[in-house]
Amino acid sequence: MALITWSETLTVNIKEIDEQHKKLIAMVNELHSAMGSGKGKDVMGKTLGGLIDYTKTHFAFEEQLMNKYAYPGYISHKADHDALTKQVAELYTKFQVGKTLVTVEVMNFLKDWLTKHIQATDKKYSSYLNGKGII
């Protein structure tokens, strides 16, 4: 079973960003199922690395959009992205040096890391950007 299921509670009312969030959710779910089927360190490392890379691409996309339309919450949103990126980079390093495995706790951390940011932070830009014609 998927760890995270997309639902309307996660929409930010901007089609392209919803698609990117769906892709991130799919990547977390992929990591979860790789963990569940006992995949080796190489596969787990590649999957986790792919998730981190795509997260960076996604954050950059949002930041560029917020910047372009002078979103007033840009600075704190960007700080949140930076903190999230740092957390996941630390996790990746610990994984690479063998100090952690991808466990249920790690998966729950990634689930919260992603869904809480979407619900608490991303959703704040929706009405502002919708008002600029971004839908």
Residue ranges binding Fe ion (CB under 5 A):
62, 122
Of the candidates 121, 125, 102, 123, which has an alpha carbon nearest to the alpha carbon of residue 113? 121
Query: Any idea which residue has 């998966």 for tokens?
Result: 107
CB of 12 to Fe ion, least distance (A): 7
Cβ closest to Fe ion, residue 4 vs residue 62: 62
From the number of C-beta atoms within 10 Å of its C-beta (0-12, 13-18, 19+), residue 62 rates as: buried
CB of 79 to Fe ion, least distance (A): 11
DSSP code at position 36: H
CB of 67 to Fe ion, least distance (A): 13
Of the candidates 3, 2, 11, 7, which has an alpha carbon nearest to the alpha carbon of residue 135? 11
CB of 116 to Fe ion, least distance (A): 11
Q: Please state, in angstroms and as integers, the Cα–Cα distance from residue 36 to each residue in 4, 94, 98, following that order.
A: 14, 20, 19
Cβ closest to Fe ion, residue 67 vs residue 103: 67
Which residue's beta carbon is nearest to the bound Fe ion?
122
Cβ closest to Fe ion, residue 43 vs residue 109: 109
Cβ closest to Fe ion, residue 63 vs residue 100: 63
**Rounded to whole angstroms, how far apart are CA atoms 57 and 124?**
20
